[in-house]
Amino acid sequence: MFIDIPRELEAALIDINLPTWKLDGPALAKFSMERYQTELTAAPRFEETAATLRHALTGEGGGYAVLRLGNLAKALGADGDRFLRLATAFAAEVAIPFSPFPRWPLWKDIGVKLDKDPGKSSGIGYNAFHMDLVNGTLPPDYTTLLCVRPDPLGGGSSILSDAHAAVTRLPQDHRAVLAEAAYHYGTFYDLHGVGEEYKPFPILDGKSGEGFVRFTAKMLERSELGQEHADAAHALAEELVQGQVSFMLQAGDYLIVNQRRFLHGREALQSGQENLPTEDRRLLLQLFLRTASGADSAA
């Protein structure tokens, strides 16, 4: 699931200066996507690399990938506009980049904030398995994280787990309960492109082995659940942990997660964050993707 960029492609991408993207509402404009595709397709081995990426995300047994863009980040600057446009162009080979947050740009900063809930994305603690925008009727098909700067103290490993594989390991009575619309989580305001609020929602949202597994471990503590529904959700949480993979993102690594297959989270950052200057702490950039069929539904 780790994809290295061929040297000849890296050399070509360093020389390419893609134009600034344009948005059509919350999404990357079609002509920006087409322009990026035209320019990158001419680069040696780009189409091969893009095909490998798509297969890792949607092929049998797949569901996530990490593009190793570290050399490009070093050459162009991990937080530079040219590098960010290249990352956006790679994302556009998978699906349509969009932002569900009107108050944020296309890419959203996820830094480290000492005063935040430790379990939040910008916190310093363990961020348990979850699906982004879990309570929208049309959540993003993909969530992506671009590592600008890892935790210099060595914490914050990414964790991922195959949600459908975890479900198959549960007894049938738990699976039946998880398919009931009985779960709640979070607020829903100032969003676009993700449908309407889904409340309550089922965790198993679709046919067996398909669709979203609408799970976030935070709802186990913050939702009022009956014993039967709570037990089934706790059992799923345990299976997700049993099946997890973990790895440390390095500067320039671009993690793309197919939310219809995998859930994601993060191990706690290393202690001592308060001793780091803000500008030295871990920094990720987040971008969401919508498939063409999902975009049609959202419209």
pLDDT tens digit string along 59-80?
999 999 999 999 999 999 998 9
Q: pLDDT value at position 103?
A: 86
pLDDT tens digit string along 247-274?
999 999 999 999 999 999 999 999 999 9
pLDDT tens digit string along 92-142?
999 999 999 998 899 999 999 999 999 999 999 999 999 999 999 999 999
Residue 297 lies in a domain: no
Count of domains for the chain: 1
Residue 281 sits in a domain whose CATH number is 3.60.130.10
Residue 299 lies in a domain: no
Q: pLDDT value at position 34?
A: 97
Residue 298 lies in a domain: no
User: Residue 280, CB half-sphere, CA atoms under 13 Å: how many?
Assistant: 9
From the list 172, 210, 238, 217, the residue with the least C-alpha distance to 63 is: 210
Range of the domain at 233: 2-289
Token couple for 48: 């091969």
Q: pLDDT value at position 294?
A: 60
pTM of the model: 0.96
Q: 63 vs 141, 153, 215, CA distance in Å?
A: 11, 29, 16
Instruction: Place 293 in a pLDDT band, splitting at 50, 70 and 90.
Output: low
Instruction: List beta partners, residue 288.
Output: 98, 143
From the list 259, 257, 204, the residue with the least C-alpha distance to 233 is: 204
pLDDT tens digit string along 145-204?
999 999 999 999 999 999 999 999 999 999 999 999 999 998 898 999 999 999 999 999
Residue 152 lies in a domain: yes
Residue 294 lies in a domain: no
